[in-house]
Amino acid sequence: MRHPTTTPCVLFPDLFGKPLTATFDVPNASSDGGAVLLKAADRRLGLIGALTDSLRDPRQPGKVVHGLEELIAQRVYGIACGYPDANDGARLGDDPIHKLLLGRDPITGDALASQPTLSRFENAPSRGELLEMSDALFETVVERHARRLRGELRRITVDLDVTDDPTHGAQQLAFFNGHYGHWCYLPMVAFLTFNGEREQYLCAAVLRAGNAPTQRGTLPLLKRLLQRLQERFPGVRILVRLDGGYAEPELFECLDEVQVDYVVGMPKNAVLERHAALAMIEARRLAAERGETAHLYTESRYAAKTWERERRVVIKAEVTVHPGRDPKDNPRFVVTNLTRRPQRVYERVYCARGEIENRLKELHHGLQIDRTSCSRFLANQLRVLLTAAAYVLLQELRLKAAHTGWVRAQVSTLREQVLKLGVQVAVSVRRLVLHLPAAFPFRDDWQRLALALGARAG
């Protein structure tokens, strides 16, 4: 056991009517009592085992103290609980709940892996192993929802987006990006939406260099995703939604070739603006009459010089009006092969992709996916994958929380109200007992969630 070197108690002599002493003397206690639900979620998914199977352990078996599955589990559970860095290993080494999550005796079990061990682990995987881990993450997510939906799956929507990951050191492939105004990486993430559900399920996360254009890496990733989805779900319609940064000839050729539906934003140019000219005249008239923002929808056929044929373009002719400012033209363009009315394509299909911004905020502010502080690029890619795995587990919690107040909770809320639960662990010959606070304000919802994850009422 590690022993604290700081004062174990503090005294407030005049804060209340009596002197108050705060003493850290409760044995076998943890502040992450609710994290056992992460273990229950992984039992349904099999995610940590799938990630482990993607790696080879070059260490001598007789000298291994912490197996690969333990190391992956320690990092994934730690990230989900709010410990995003390998340095946190020193803080969690003797935590009884985190030892329990790794299958160790919470009281007498050996301490968890230290920061040096975790750092060596993060720097060990090769590019090929990381690709296998990415495939395992995708296959685990797809298989989970295939079982859940069974024969009721009708449509899958694929969303891709890029976000910035600020860097602050000498990380490999970190570059200054003029658009974001700082040195960074540019991770690309992919989400799947099933039927008309609101949740977008993370299925892929790829770290990219800080100077990578939006399109770099898109086609290889998208081709892999679409091929596997079509093989796994023959006959199910697939829709791809992308913003204007992805629009390039090769993308449209690929989407047409694999015969999927798509709505892809298109940057404006002189030709497209000529197509929108009549609609913009009407939008300006409406804005002037009403004194407020006005927009209407139309469509045209369009082919850039590098395209092999014309495609349908939905046009949103918009004039924005703000008090104290001159009206401003704001035409928008979406390339699509859908046959629905222009307004429906734009508002009901294309604009729905904006929900991905909330998923990115969760990854950044809830799980700190930008904690890519390793020197080696591949080690940082592993960190991104481990963060993605933690997010998948939390999405499973949110899915099973359908009949609780957490059905639409952000992952940070799930951590604060579900996982961060004071507990004292008791171990006997026959069982483990987690002594949780009787006054826990979310007790009923926590019990419902536990039952949904396979627990039985006591």
What mean pLDDT is predicted for residues 36-61? Answer: 95
**Are 321 and 293 contacting, i.e. CB atoms less than 8 angstroms apart?**
yes
Confidence of residue 122 (pLDDT cuts 50, 70, 90): very high
What is residue 88's DSSP assignment? G
Give pLDDT tens digits for 333-369: 999 999 999 999 999 999 999 999 999 999 999 999 9
Residue with tokens 């033209």: 329
pLDDT at 148: 95
Question: Cβ–Cβ contacts within 10 Å for residue 258, how many?
Answer: 16
Cα–Cα nearest to 279, from 323, 342, 321, 337: 342
56-60, 79-83, 198-202, 410-414: which has the minimum mean pLDDT? Answer: 56-60
If you average pLDDT over residues 14-25, what whole number do you get? 89
What are the backbone dihedrals phi and psi of residue 264, each rounded to the nearest 5 degrees, phi first?
-130, 125
* pLDDT score recorded for residue 89: 86
| pLDDT of 296 higher than 60 | yes
Closest CA to 342 of 385, 282, 300, 378: 300
> Helix-strand-coil percent breakdown of the chain, rounded to 5?
45, 20, 40
Mean pLDDT (whole number) for 441-452: 96
CA distance 137 to 328: 45
Split at pLDDT 50, 70, 90, the class of 151 is: confident
Q: Evaluate if residue 458 carries a pLDDT over 90.
A: no
Mean per-residue pLDDT, 88-103: 93
pLDDT single digits (tens) 302-314 = 999 899 999 999 9
pLDDT of residue 1: 47
Percent of the chain with pLDDT over 90: 87
- Does residue 264 or residue 91 have the better pLDDT? 264
Instruction: Return the pLDDT at 25.
Output: 85
| Mean pLDDT, the chain, integer | 94
Q: Stretch 227-249: mean pLDDT, rounded?
A: 95
Q: What is the pLDDT of residues 163-189, one digit of tens each?
A: 999 999 889 999 999 999 999 999 999
pLDDT of residue 253: 95
pLDDT digits (tens, 9 = 90+) for 369-419: 999 999 999 999 999 999 999 999 999 999 999 999 999 999 999 999 999
- Asked if residue 439 has pLDDT above 60, the reply is yes
Write out the two tokens for 341: 């009315």
pLDDT (0 to 100) of residue 6: 58
